[in-house]
Amino acid sequence: MNILLIYPEFPDTFWSFKYALAFVGKRAAHPPLGLLTVAAMLPPEWSLRLVDTNVRGLKQRDLDWADCAFISAMGVQRESAQRIIARCKGAGLRVVAGGPLFTGEPEAFDPVDHMVLNEAELTLPGFLQDMLQGSPRRVYASAQFADMQQTPTPRWDLLDLRRYASMSIQFSRGCPFNCDFCNVTALFGHRVRTKTSRQILAELDSLYALGWRDEVFFVDDNFIGNKTFLKSDLLPALIAWRRHKRGMTFYTEASINLAEDETLMALMAEAGFTRVFIGIETPDDTCLAECRKFQNKGRDLLADVRRIQHAGFEVQGGFIVGFDHDKPSIFQRQIDFIQQSGIVTAMVGLLQAPPGTRLYERLRKEGRLRGQSSGDNVDGTTNILPRMDFDILRQGYRDILQHIYSPKHFYERLRTHLRNVRATRVRVPVRFSGIQALVLSFWRLGIVGRERFHYWRLLLWTLFRRPRLLPQSVTLAIYGYHFRKMFDRHVT
């Protein structure tokens, strides 16, 4: 059987890095990890072809070749997924769908023949068995959570690695916290489940053998959910694995309590982690209590960020406005916090309520939902009716982004980050894409860009003050170019 694995296109978003990827000649930031993992679970005698529409278009010859299409997507890919499903059905293909989008909104996709929902380790085997027997049902779902030690190594061989800026692997699922706007626990539960260190090293070995030396994203929603296992097992294994290897730095997502554990941060840095995304959300304790983000409440969040930076990590941050307890002063408070923290990659969004969250259910009961969540954190829209006057909320949101991504304030924040962060110890080989990005940045940022004065000032400052951080300095300057493009196109 010929199986066409299709990944829908992402729109231009904060995390698409579309305008930054052009500097390094890449087409997508990350590969479709879910589809690659599903591919490894399919019968070995089936022929597989992957079409990531973020990398190349879906051709008629692909549809003509296939007997069946497997589609996986997230909420932000909804429109592209709908178009692809229509094309597949028009070509007479059986369509099988799974992933967060379809698990959260199965009723919205009537044309799909079979829904394989929740975690594929649990639901895919039953579908495959029924399909081979000629009697597959429409919906396969499970309320249980999978044993990740049974998860196979993704089929990296289906990718054109040259098209991607980063690879992705997953160590754990689940989060011990209970933030009411987040659907992670609805999808994966509170109990943190992990792969073994042997599994992770096997995945890294397979990438290394294919020649991959660039970044690897640990996609875990909270990488430090099981600190004991990390410190006693995985991180020492990664440190040992890294010996005599070049490149392949890591980044991930974690909760702010990472700042409390000096030993954990030191091990992560030695293992090759250089960046961490943290959901800070808001400096207002009342709003943190409202959204049940108790792990952030009552802390000196600025001091926490600095501790993580001093340990050697670029801190990326998520921020939200539009909580019920937000006052108009929140906009300046968010600006002040972001600028003082040196968080260069600051994702600020209006509060949204995804299906399956406590927030969604509360607002549904209050009659305050207005359509679907877009899945795009920073598109300036929301599917809730906020307590604050929406015109004030919308304008305050614009003011935040206009301030933090204006060249003057963005480059000020970048220098704050470079003052705070310790340089990585990982040996990173010089690659053509890095040289290409540097040369293109000279032209686009240093000559024709409106930020040119700030760009050259940054490069000179870095050369004299933190020369080992010059590659990071240029990379973050390029990120700023992408963020300004996104603001200009979608928010102004």
pLDDT tens per residue, range 27-69:
999 999 999 999 999 999 999 999 999 999 999 999 999 999 9
CATH of the domain at 87: 3.40.50
* Strand order from edge to edge, sheet including 273-281: 166-169, 215-218, 250-254, 273-281, 314-321, 346-350
Region 296-320: what's the mean pLDDT? 97
Q: What are phi and psi of 362, to 5 degrees?
A: -65, -45
Given the structure tokens 């992560």, which residue do they identify?
A: 268
Residues 331 and 443 in one domain: no
Q: What are phi and psi of 318, to 5 degrees?
A: -105, 135
Domain count, the chain: 3
- Residue 250 pLDDT exceeds 80: yes
Residues 233 and 357 in one domain: yes
- Residue 472 pLDDT exceeds 90: yes
Interacting residues of 341 by C-beta distance below 8 A, sequence separation 6+: 301, 302, 305, 306, 315, 317, 413, 416
SS3 84: helix
Region 176-199: what's the mean pLDDT? 92
The percentage of the chain sitting over the pLDDT mark of 90, rounded to a whole number, equals 89
HEC states along 410-435? HHHHHHHHHHHCCCCCCCCCCCHHHH
Residues 135 and 262 in one domain: no
Residues 191 and 340 in one domain: yes
- Residue 249 pLDDT exceeds 90: yes
Measured CA to CA, the distance from residue 58 to residue 66 in angstroms comes to 12
- Residue 397 pLDDT exceeds 90: yes
Q: In sequence order, what DSSP letters do the residues of 87-129 get, joined into one string?
A: HHHHTT-EEEEESHHHHH-GGG-TT-SEEE-S-HHHHHHHHHH
Domain range for 219 is 165-420
Count of beta carbons in the 10 Å neighbourhood of residue 468:
10
Burial class (CB in 10 A: 0-12, 13-18, 19+), 247: middle
Please report the pLDDT score of residue 275 as a whole number: 96
Please report the pLDDT score of residue 356 as a whole number: 86
Average pLDDT, the chain: 95
| pLDDT tens digits, one per residue of 296-305 | 999 999 999 9
- Residue 315 pLDDT exceeds 90: yes
- Residue 432 pLDDT exceeds 80: no
Residue 379 vs residue 140, higher pLDDT: 140
Region 410-419: what's the mean pLDDT? 98
Residue 492: pLDDT band (50, 70, 90) is low
Residues 455 and 376 in one domain: no
Q: Are strands 172-173 and 250-254 parallel, antiparallel or unpaired?
A: unpaired
Picking from 276-285, 362-371, 422-431, 454-463, which range would have the lowest pLDDT averaged per residue? 422-431
Residues 332 and 187 in one domain: yes
Residue 490: pLDDT band (50, 70, 90) is low
Region 321-330: what's the mean pLDDT? 97
- Residue 267 pLDDT exceeds 90: yes
Please report the pLDDT score of residue 488 as a whole number: 84
Region 276-291: what's the mean pLDDT? 97
Region 443-468: what's the mean pLDDT? 96
Report pTM. 0.95
Q: Is residue 147 part of a domain?
A: no
- Residue 373 pLDDT exceeds 90: no
Please report the pLDDT score of residue 489 as a whole number: 76
Q: How many residues does the chain have?
A: 492
The radius of gyration computed from the CA coordinates of the chain, to the nearest angstrom, equals: 22
Region 168-194: what's the mean pLDDT? 92
Residues 255 and 394 in one domain: yes
Residues 187 and 336 in one domain: yes
Residue 424: pLDDT band (50, 70, 90) is confident
Find residue 4's DSSP bridge partners: 49, 69
The percentage of the chain sitting over the pLDDT mark of 70, rounded to a whole number, equals 99
CATH of the domain at 393: 3.80.30.20
Inter-CA distances, 263 with 154, 200, 431, Å: 31, 21, 32
